[in-house]
Chain A
Amino acid sequence: MTKLRHLIDPQDFTVEELEELFSLADEIVKNEKKFKNVCDGKILATLFYEPSTRTRFSFEAAMLRLGGQVIGFSEPGSSSVMKGESIPDTVRTVGSYVDIIAMRHPKEGAPRYASYYSPVPLINAGDGGHQHPTQTLTDLFTIRQTKGRFSNMTIGLCGDLKFGRTVHSLIKAMSRYENIKFILISPDELKVPDYIKTEILDRNSIEYLEVERLEEVIQELDILYMTRVQKERFFNEADYIRLKDSYILDKEKLKLAKEDLAILHPLPRVNEISYEVDEDPRAKYFQQVKYGMYVRMALISKLLGVM
């Protein structure tokens, strides 16, 4: 990864490149001090056209822990975007000052468009409801760290599977590994879109099952990826009342689960995981947050060619 590379779509990296990245992230986890100066003299720009404090902090913390520095904006109102500057002009200008850019934008495809003009590596830090590749890297790295493998697993995805971009990306990403089975747990109104089923699951002959209730299948799962289900997503209140408790993971439901289940969540959580679950060793979502920073450290290092 020494020539100019960007990360726009989770599929931009091959399985081998991902493994290289995760091995580096793993090394950083084990011996962070060794990496504290690798980005000495390098600058990251965080161009956040919409606020996303957690993702921005994660990028900034990653760069600072690598010994680099950070500049940027966290809303377009405080930048030349307000004066009508185009995306190509912004990235060409900022790319003259910095070594790497992380861009968050409310418009889908904006980072792809920006990457055509960027003189430095550009990372998609989320574009509307479209892609969020560093969240996918985070999810994959958490799976690798907690399960020690990517193959031979049953993965349950629970909640809003229709609008959840992290779910779509994770299905795409995990579909590249062997012997994966998905159990898709959602109300009828929030099922995974058909194109994911036909283009990813059917095309790759990946086994999957669609169910409405978590408690029916939780005992089968190796990974449980929870997402938010909001009341306003339901078409009628009766359905919401019927199903709302199905999507709250609590101690009772966890009694049915495997001892080595790994519970993941992209956060923020609302009420889909009870606080009592936080103490359970199977709850990995706060570790997942930390792994997100480490994987971003590895990504920045790789894209800058310093590692």
Chain B
Amino acid sequence: MLYIDSIVRGIVIDHIKPGYGFSIFKYLGLDKADFTVALIMNAPSKKYGRKDLIKIENNIDLDLTMLGFIDPNITVNIIEDEKIVEKINLSLPEKVEGIIKCKNPRCVTSTERNIVHRFVLVDEEKGIYKCEYCDQIYSWEG
């Protein structure tokens, strides 16, 4: 069994789908952090069998829309004095802005300056989004 010290004050991003932890870790810039962070991959989970989780010994601003977009089953725990003081359950956001880019080379986003890439949820069950401009279909896994 692997033991990682519990944190005193900070955030635990729990129940991340296995394999997604690293993407979130990178997206949040935690690879450049000057405080304690832990990325745990393929940890056993009663709920899902396996999971990734990230422990952050600091209070940082989290983009909950982005986390919900990547995996709506993620739970965000806010820790104070080694105790969970808030548990945030995520859901798929209706709109996603500026997180991913449209890959369609024919899309207007490929040429216009200052345009914000926007995606709207079209299938909640499958987590499928479409580009607001060109209707190209996306999921986090591409």
Contact = CB atoms under 8 A, between A and B. Distances in A.
A109 B107 contact: yes
Contacts of A130: 106, 134-135
Contacts of A86: 112-114
Q: Most A CB atoms within 10 A — which of B112, B113, B131, B137?
A: B112
A251 B135 CA distance: 40
Nearest to B115: A113
Interface string B92-116: 0000000000001011111111110
B48 interface: no
A129 B134 CA distance: 10
B140 interface: no
B interface secondary structure, majority: loop
Interface in B49-69: none
Given A86-B114, A130-B135, A113 B106 contact: no
A113 B132 CA distance: 9
B106 A128 contact: yes
A105 interface: yes
B133 interface: yes
Given A130-B134, A130-B135, A195-B137, A109 B109 contact: yes
B135 A113 contact: no
Contacts of B104: 108
Contacts of B110: 107
Interface in A70-120: 86-87, 105-110, 112-113
B106 A108 contact: yes
B27 to A, nearest CB: 25
Interface residues of A, number: 15
Contact of B133 (A106, A113, A129): A113
A195 B113 CA distance: 30
Contacts of B133: 108-110, 112-113
Contacts of A109: 107-109, 131-135
A107 B137 contact: no
A195 B123 CA distance: 12
B111 A107 contact: yes
A113 B137 contact: no
A117 to B, nearest CB: 11
Contacts of A128: 106, 134
A195 B132 CA distance: 17
A83 to B, nearest CB: 13
A289 to B, nearest CB: 27
A107 B106 contact: yes
Given A87-B108, A128-B106, A129-B106, A108 B114 contact: no
Nearest to B102: A109
A105 B109 CA distance: 13
B108 A107 contact: yes
Contacts of A113: 108, 112, 115, 133
A110 B108 contact: yes
Contacts of A106: 106
Interface string B126-139: 00000111110100
Contact of A107 (B107, B132, B135): B107
B108 A105 contact: yes
Most B CB contacts (10 A, CB to CB) among A87, A107, A109, A130 go to A109
Contacts of B135: 108-109, 130
Nearest to B110: A107
Interface string A114-137: 000000000000011110000000
Interface of A: 86-87, 105-110, 112-113, 127-130, 195
Given A105-B108, A109-B134, 7 more contacts: A87-B108, A108-B133, A108-B134, A109-B107, A110-B108, A112-B108, A130-B106
28 contacts: A86-B112, A86-B113, A86-B114, A105-B108, A107-B106, A107-B107, A107-B108, A107-B110, A107-B111, A107-B112, A108-B104, A108-B106, A108-B107, A108-B134, A108-B135, A109-B107, A109-B109, A109-B133, A109-B134, A109-B135, A110-B108, A112-B132, A112-B133, A113-B108, A113-B112, A130-B134, A130-B135, A195-B137
